A and B are shown apart, each in its own frame.
Chain A
Amino acid sequence: MMSATVGKWLDIGPTTQIEPGTARTLPVAGADEIAVFHTMRGEFYALVNKCPHKQGPLSQGIIHGDSVSCPLHNWRISLKSGEALGDDKGCTPTIPLKVDNGRIYLLREAVIPTGPFDEPAPAAQVAAA
């Protein structure tokens, strides 16, 4: 799961905050909410929390293998690529994620869309919900 992407990583907390087989959400000011998935196999993925079909919150779907079934109309979305599987067509943006030493990191550039950011900007990173 180590991503080869180069960039700054945003620490979003320990892996233990998401139980295997479930997902949790991360609202982003000025951009789409992110869903972070933990599969039964123990892998982590981050996607925009929107089904390409009717924007259903993917974080609330049933997670099986490395796909999630959307809670609204049961479209199956790949957690690896964000692509709709089977006969459906569409794609949800994915966010590069890595796990290191029990913590989850998202690629900062992929998370923060616009707006001014001071560097370094720890205060701008993650505020506990």
Chain B
Amino acid sequence: MNAQTTIETPKREKLVVIGNGMAGCRAVEEVLERDADRYDITIFGAEPRVNYNRIMLSPVLAGEKTFEEIVINGQDWYDDNGITLVGGDPVDHIDREAKTVVSRSGRVEPYDKLLIATGSDPFIIPIPGNDLEGVVTFRDLDDVDTMLAAAEKGGDAVVIGGGLLGLEAAHGLSLRGMKVTVVHLMPTLMERQLDEAAGYLLRQELEGRGQTILTSANTKVIHGVEGKVVGIELEDGTKVKADIVVMAAGIKPATGLAKGANLECERGIVVDDHMVTSDPDILAVGECVQHRGACYGLVAPLWEMCRSLADHLTEQPSGYEGSVTSTKLKVSGIDLFSAGDFSGGEDCEDIVMRDASRGIYKRVVVKDGKIVGAVLYGDTADGNWYFDLLKKEEDISDIREALIFGQAFASGGGALADPNAAVAALSDDAEICGCNGVSKGKVVQCINGGAHSLDAVRSTCKASASCGSCTNLVESLLAITLGEDAVASGPKTMCKCTSFTHDDVRRLILEKELKVIPQVMQELHWTTPDGCSSCRPALNYYLLCAWPGEYEDDEKSRFVNERLHANIQKDGTYSVVPRMWGGLTSPKELRAIADVVEKYDAPMVKVTGGQRLDIFGIKKEDLPAVWADLNAAGMVSGHAYGKALRTVKTCVGSEWCRFGTQDSTGLGVKIEKMTWGSYMPHKFKIAVSGCPRNCAEATIKDFGVVCVDSGYELHVGGNGGIKVRATDLLCKVETEEEAMEHCAAFIQLYREDAHYLERTAPWLERKGLDWIKSQLFDDPERITRLAARFRLSQKYWQVDPWAGRAAGAHKDLHSHIAEIRPLEMENA
């Protein structure tokens, strides 16, 4: 026996890692930390460079960091740990039988364990022109270099995709001096992280910084000249100039290699809790995997995955159970945070706080006493605290009332967790109302002085009389000072989404120049993310009334009848009423109606109370064709479905009737031509009777004209309906022109003042006839001005909605997505 012994080095197992990114290298780090000698490691990377922090590419693009600063592991790390780095030579395929990987250059590397960490690929939208020069993705350093080269020349950049990645690219490019347009398919920016309200704030801020943001914008084609990009064109025909187009429309797990090796893949490479794929010797980690049905595109889950993977590779299995993710980020210096499920639901409660003046929006979603989601905009200081409560599933019932004010406030515990107690604890000189500089002492003094309601406080010391964001505080002070029960309930709020009344909302829309629904909801502190079926139609009306020609009608906030321009019936079909001016018709119109009834098999036609014909039983799919036929005979929408001018009913008048005093039919037609198409707080009916016998029933209409020998009596505020109300006499005028001018002015006063869904009768009883008379007659100019505003609005609204639909507008409202039918019927 030889004395010399050789110590045999045990042959180390071979670990091959495909992917030199954050996931691959982190996994290797974790393995090395547990057992540095166990594996002989080779890493393949597609990029010819060392491991860097991909999420820091944005600061590199923005010029805030250099590449060197974002390197995680330099070449020395590979050298020190005996790791072979094969850079710039991506793996081409995996041979599971031979247990080798083959690179593009033909290099064959055997493995005992293989780790796939290929990450994700940018999603390239399948549109013409996506392969032009100047169309880039935002995924690696080469992309950043391409963008920087483009930015040096200045010009226009288009970023497709308003998610996190797209906005960061846009931010970087605009800091580099390019004129940037962001084109986003969805209506809300970053809709996966933000709700509508927060998305709106973000948009406003980015627009303020010079970016152009186009939402609900579908890119149709990228145009090029001589192979180089020159611009994009949207589905709606809008064209945007571009010297560079960045595709940041999303990412998808890179599963190509795994699929080629027949590993089980769905959206991502399917792995178990130990990150093992369907082949026990092949593991996968990072954005390329699908674990328990979920794919992750964020960095946080990576760390947990790599821990579990390293535990498994060093035979101390622990297991990964999926991640609850949160996003905390800064876009253009704006703080955003979101976590968990903030889509809400019937068992969920939304706690919303909006502070318009500081640009802050906070929303915490609570279910069964626990936080399930949170969205914060502008102030994310409490994000981690909410996220912590969410992950630990802590019961927050005890601090619920104070939760939204943040940890410092809510954790005061006990007394402080009660908002009233918190307000009681404030010092006398603490400011309650920032807008009007009112201290707590002053509010209490004014309550003690007899202001026992919110309104009384508002009118005496002005607290909460401006923006209203301190309403809760004032109410707390009322409760503390007078006792909970003594507080008189104030005027009815518009709906449960807001503490403002209809009047407040209408006034503030004008004062603050609020022009779209999300803006109203933000500025007026709505407590729900997107309103309800009461406030949405009301806001839509208030805005279209306040900003004629400027406001774009929001169909989603319309009741079905106004959206489909027909009346829904109990069986889901629709009835169609074409306009018959003043109740007059002709053989041509009657023939067209008869033809429609036969052609579309309408089961019933009925003469309405408003002197026209109602065609029943039309299917929503047939509506555009029905309208096209009616349009062809010269007929337009009768708005029988709308909170709008309905009919102008007339009698035959002096032309035929032996008692007639004036041409009531002719005046009725003129009034209808002037008023049709106008939207109102509620339906609005007019009638013109030729003599006091009043055959047109003008005295139970919203506006009625009764002709007399000496002129025209004008009556207002009547209706039939559940509670019949006869009109009040407004005034008497001498000419048709005056009658029409008064009609326009009265309508406009009603349009501008009444609450949504309040007809003229209850409106008049609420305001009083004297108030209406003084509004119209105190200032001789007033009628002219009101009538002029009505005519201005009519300029934009006297467009037949049927014609547009008949020509193909909003086809989606009238067609099914598709039909599902069994195979046999298909063949039949």
Contacts and interface: CB of A to CB of B under 8 A. Distances in A.
A81 to B, nearest CB: 6
Given A2-B294, A62-B559, 11 more contacts: A26-B817, A26-B820, A28-B820, A36-B817, A40-B530, A64-B530, A65-B344, A65-B528, A66-B346, A76-B533, A129-B817
Interface class of chain A by DSSP = loop
A29 B825 contact: yes
9 contacts: A16-B185, A16-B218, A22-B813, A26-B817, A62-B537, A72-B570, A111-B820, A124-B826, A128-B819
A94 interface: no
A123 to B, nearest CB: 6
B532 interface: yes
Contacts of A10: 820
Contacts of A83: 346
Given A17-B812, A18-B817, A40-B187, A71 B536 contact: no
Nearest to A57: B572
Nearest to B342: A41
Contacts of B813: 22
Interface in A114-129: 115-118, 121, 123-129
B568 A60 contact: yes
B560 interface: yes
Interface stretch (B173-181, B191-199, B413-421, B471-479): B191-199
A78 to B, nearest CB: 4
A116 B823 contact: yes
Contacts of A101: 252, 267
Interface in A76-129: 76, 78, 80-81, 83, 85, 100-101, 111-112, 115-118, 121, 123-129
Contacts of B570: 54, 56, 72
Interface residues on chain A, size class: 35 or more
Contacts of A34: 820
Contact of B533 (A24, A74, A78, A116): A74
Given A24-B812, A57-B572, A66-B345, A42 B822 contact: no
Interface class of chain B by DSSP = loop
Nearest to A76: B533
Interface in A57-73: 57, 60-67, 69, 71-72
A116 B572 CA distance: 30
Interface residues on chain B, size class: 35 or more
Contacts of B216: 19-20
A69 to B, nearest CB: 4
A56 B572 contact: yes
B820 A64 contact: no
Interface in B528-570: 528-533, 536-537, 555-561, 563-564, 568, 570
A30 interface: yes
Contacts of A78: 345-346
B293 interface: yes
B822 A80 contact: no
Given A10-B820, A13-B817, A19-B812, A61 B560 contact: yes
Nearest to B497: A64
A62 B294 CA distance: 31
Interface string A1-23: 01010000010110011111110
Interface string B193-216: 001100000000000000000001
A24 B816 contact: yes
Contacts of B294: 2
Nearest to A108: B820
A42 B188 contact: yes
B598 interface: no
Contact of B529 (A24, A65, A125): A65
B46 interface: no
B195 A12 contact: no
